[in-house]
Chain A
Amino acid sequence: MPTMTCAGREITVNDEGFFTDPSQWTEDMAPQIASAEGIAELTDRHWQVIKFMRHEYEAKGTGPTVRALGKTSGVSVKELYQLFPKGPAKVAAKIAGIPKPRGCI
Chain B
Amino acid sequence: MTAKIEKVSIIVSKGSLEGIYPGLIMANGARAEGIEANLFFTFFGLDAIHKVRHEHIKLATVGNPGLHLATWAGGLPGVSSVMTHYLGRKMDQLDIPPIPEFIEMIADTGAGLYGCKASADLFGLTKSDLIDQVKDIITVGEFYDLAAGGQIIFT
Q: Which of B33, B34, B97, B110 contacts A67 (CB 8 A)?
A: B97
Chain A interface, number of residues (Cβ within 8 angstroms)? 19
Is B109 a contact of A77 with CB atoms below 8 Å?
Answer: yes
B109, A81: Cβ atoms under 8 Å? yes
Query: How far does the alpha carbon of A41 sit from the alpha carbon of B26 in the complex, in Å?
Result: 30
Task: Say whether chain B's binding surface is mostly helix, strand, loop, or mixed.
Answer: loop
Partner of B32, one of A15, A76, A78, A87: A87
Chain B residues with CB under 8 Å of A73's CB are: none
Taking a contact as CB atoms under 8 Å apart, the answer to whether B34 and A87 are in contact is yes
A14, chain B: closest CB distance, angstroms:
12
* Assembled-state Cα–Cα distance A85/B29 (Å): 14
- The residue of chain B having its C-beta at the shortest distance from the C-beta of A89 within the complex is B32
The answer to whether B32 and A66 have CB atoms under 8 Å apart is yes
B31 within 8 A of A: yes
**Interface size bracket, B side:** 10 to 19
Known: A67-B105, A77-B109, A105-B96. A90 touches B1 (CB 8 A): no
Contacts of A90 in B (CB 8 A): 32-34
Contact A70–B29 (Cβ < 8 Å): no
CB-CB under 8 A from A81, the residues of chain B are: 31, 108-110
> When A and B form their complex, which 8 residue pairs have the shortest distance between CB atoms, in order from nearest?
A86-B34, A87-B34, A77-B108, A78-B108, A66-B32, A87-B32, A81-B110, A87-B33
Q: Which residues of B are in contact with A by a Cβ distance under 8 Å?
A: 1, 25, 28-29, 31-34, 94-97, 105, 108-110
A-B contacts, 14 listed (Cβ < 8 Å):
A66-B31, A66-B32, A66-B109, A67-B28, A67-B105, A77-B105, A78-B109, A81-B108, A81-B109, A81-B110, A87-B31, A90-B32, A105-B96, A105-B97
